[in-house]
Amino acid sequence: MSFSNEQLERYSRHIILKEVGVKGQKKLLNSKVLIIGTGGLGAPAAMFLAAAGVGNIGLVDFDAVELSNLQRQIIHLTRDVGKPKVISGMETINEMNPDVEVTTYKEWVSSENISDIIKDKDYDFIIDGTDNFPAKFLINDACVLTQKPFSHAGIIRFQGQTMTYVPGQGPCYRCVFLNPPPPDAVPTCKQAGVLGVMGGIIGTIQATEAIKYILGVGELLTGQLLTYDSLKMEFRKIKLPHNKNCQVCGENPTIKTLIDYEQAVCELKQS
Amino acid sequence: MEIKADDFVDITDVVCPITFVKAKVAIEELEDGQILEVRMNEGEPIQNVPRSFKDEGHKVLNVINNEDGTFTVFVEKGGLEG
C-alpha cells in the first residue's frame, strides 16, 4: 500500500513524527479498534481514532441519541436525536475521514455476544467506553479470555480514571477491583452528573493508549491507574501490581466463562 | 567525489511540511546504508529538510547548489545511527 498525495497531506503531522513515520501511519491504517459504548468516553475516542486514520473502527451501542447526551457525546449532533448512536457515530466518522471503515453493532454487550463481536474483525485493541460495572467486568473478562488488550475508563462528576490492560503485562481490571459493587451502591453518572469535558479528557487518553499500542511506542498505563480530578486539576498515577490470585487472570483462574452481573435497577430500560 | 544514489525524489513540487513528508516516504523505502538523492528548493526546504534528516539519524553526505534555485542533497539512510 502506498499513500496518495491526499493521504500524505492528511497524515503529514503524523508522518513527520519520528515515532510514527510512514510505517506507523500504515500500521494505523491497517489497525482495528473496537469501541464499546458510543457515549461520553467512546465519542471523543472514536473521533480521534478516526482522525488519526485507524482503518477499522467498530462501534457497539444499543442506545439512541438523546438530547441530554449532547452536552458531552460530541460525535452526535442535535439533528441526530432519536437516531441509533452507532449510526450517528458512523456518519460523523464517514464525513471526517473516508479512509476509515466503520462496523456497527446495535446491541448491548453480554456474555452471549461480546466474544463474537471481538472476534468479528479480530480487533487489535478494545476501548471500554461503557457507563456501568456489569459491562466493565464483562469487557475485562472477555478481553482476558480472548487475550486482547483494552483500555478501561470511568468518569463521574469531576473525576475520571483509566488504565490499560495488555495480556501478560500487569494487572487486569479484576485484579484491582475484584467484583462489581452491589447494584445501586454506586451512583451512575445519570444520577450523579458529569462534567461534559471529562469524557473528552479521559476518552482521548484512551484513544492515545490505543494509538501507542498499535504503533508500539512509549509506555502504556499497564500496571497503573491514572486518576484525574478536574476540580483540583490533579492527575495521579497509582501503581498496581498483578494479582496472582486474580479470579480471571491469576495462576489458578476460577472464571472461565463470562458472567452477566445484575444491572442497577434505575438503569434498566422501561420499555 | 561522485556519489551514487539508490533512489531519487523531487520535492520541489510541494511546500512545507509536505516537503519532508515526501522525502521521508522515499527514505523509508530504502535499507540502512542506501543513499537517497533529493532535489529541493532553496529557502525553507534547504534550511529544514537536511536538518530533519539528521534529527532522524540519517547522514547528509553532500549538498550541491544547482544554481537554478534548487539544491540536490545526498542522504545516507541511518548513517548517524549505531
Q: Would you kindly state where each structural domain of chain B is located, as residue ranges?
A: 8-76
In angstroms, the CA A176 to CA A33 distance is 24
Task: Check if the beta carbon of residue A100 is closer than 8 Å to that of residue A122.
Answer: no
How far, in Å, CA of A48 to CA of B74, rounded? 37
DSSP label of A35? E
Cα separation, A252 vs A241, whole angstroms? 17
Local confidence pLDDT in tens for the 271 residues of chain A: 688 889 999 999 999 999 999 999 999 999 999 999 999 999 999 999 999 999 999 999 999 999 999 999 999 999 999 999 999 999 999 999 999 999 999 999 999 999 999 999 999 999 999 999 999 999 999 999 999 999 999 999 999 999 999 999 999 999 999 999 887 777 776 778 999 999 999 999 999 999 999 999 999 999 999 999 999 999 999 999 999 999 999 999 999 999 999 876 555 544 3
The C-alpha cell 519532508 sits at B20
Question: Residue A255's Cα: distance from chain center in Å?
Answer: 23
Residue B30 near residue B53, CB atoms below 8 Å: no
Nearest residue in B to A15, CA atom = B21
ipTM score for this prediction: 0.78
* DSSP structural state of residue B40: E
What is residue B31's DSSP assignment?
A: P
- Provide residues of B within 8 Å CB-CB of chain A: 17-18, 20-22, 24-25, 28, 52, 55-56
The yes/no answer on whether domain A14-267 falls in CATH 3.30.70.100 is no
Is the CB of B17 less than 8 angstroms away from the CB of A23?
A: no
DSSP assigned state of A84: B
pLDDT of res. A1: 67
C-alpha cell at A134: 456489569
Contact (Cβ atoms closer than 8 angstroms) between residue A248 and residue A255: yes
Closest CA to A214 of A11, A106, A53: A53
Q: Which residues contact B77 (CB under 8 A, 6 or more apart)?
A: B27, B30, B31, B32, B33, B34, B35, B36, B58
E strands, chain A, in order? 32-36, 56-60, 101-105, 125-128, 150-156, 159-165, 224-229, 234-239
The number of beta carbons lying within 10 Å of the beta carbon of residue A95 is 9
Confidence band of B82 (pLDDT split at 50, 70, 90): low
DSSP output for A220-268 = -STTEEEEEETTTTEEEEEE----TT-TTTSSS----S---PPPPGGGS
- What cell was used for A34? 473496537
pLDDT in tens, B39-79: 999 999 999 999 999 999 999 999 999 999 999 999 999 98
Tell me, what's the pLDDT at A240? 96
Chain B: residue whose CA lies nearest to A22:
B25
Query: Out of B5, B16, B60, B61, which one is annotated catalytic?
Result: B16
Report chain A's terminal Cα–Cα distance, integer Å. 48
C-alpha cell, B35? 543513499
- A270: cell is 422501561
Q: Which of A1, A8, A25 to mutate to test the interface with B (most CBs of B within 10 A)?
A: A8
pLDDT for the residue numbered A269:
47
CA separation for the pair A203, A28 (Å, rounded): 18
Q: Give how far A42 is from chain B: nearest CA, Å.
A: 31
Q: Grid coordinates standing for B59?
A: 547522514
Whether B16 is catalytic: yes
Handedness of CA A145, A150, A156, A161 (dihedral sign): positive
Selected residues 8-47 of chain A with any CB under 8 Å from a CB in chain B: 8-9, 12-13, 15-16, 18, 21-23
Residue B29 neighbours by CB distance under 10 Å: 14
Chain A residues closer than 8 Å to B78 by CB: none
Superfamily of domain B8-76: TusA-like domain (3.30.110.40)
End-to-end Cα spacing for chain B:
25
- Residue B44, number of CB atoms within 10 A of its CB: 13
